[in-house]
Chains A and B, each alone.
Chain A
Amino acid sequence: ETGVTQTPRHLVMGMTNKKSLKCEQHLGHNAMYWYKQSAKKPLELMFVYSLEERVENNSVPSRFSPECPNSSHLFLHLHTLQPEDSALYLCASSQEEGALGLEAFFGQGTRLTVV
């Protein structure tokens, strides 16, 4: 299997549930990202991990908790979400090496619905 794989592809959860989204990259990249894509807003960068350390957190509510146990895996832990958190959550990875302009590769996304 190659590329960036996200599971599950679809998730419906209640506001009191706890769930996790998983992302795995098979590209040997050293940076991974979580993005949120909703109908009303442009793609929003949520979290960035570079060399397994979080380097950016764009004022994301604490009900979203990322985890990067190694350079190939990224999780997004969800708890007590709100209906407005319903969106497509995209994982991406890239190789950050100085001035090299290597693009990010995206997974297929997890379509999350909060009821």
Chain B
Amino acid sequence: DIVMTQSPLSLPVTPGEPASISCRSSQNLLHTNGYNYLDWYLQKPGQSPQLLIYLGSHRASGVPDRFSGSGSGTDFTLEISRVEAEDVGVYYCMQGLQTPFTFGPGTKVDI
């Protein structure tokens, strides 16, 4: 199975300041079609997960442009340009290259 790791696991943030989360996979997630099969999800307190970024760098519909994803292969980053209070929650990366699809352990972001 592909193992996903994230750092940090806990991230205190300040509104208006940038924030960054790293995600690493044990195998290359670059598909032969040129896409990295890496998604980012946010689970806000008491809610279901919601999609933020898909295929490494594509922002999902309705996601504010302060969120961006980058990286390729085994190293990926989620960046928030200016954190807002509503961004608190747990952020997960997930690899979709092969089953079983696997999630990172999550990064808890709080103010």
A binds B: no
A interface residues with partner B (beta carbon < 8 Å): none
B interface residues with partner A (beta carbon < 8 Å): none
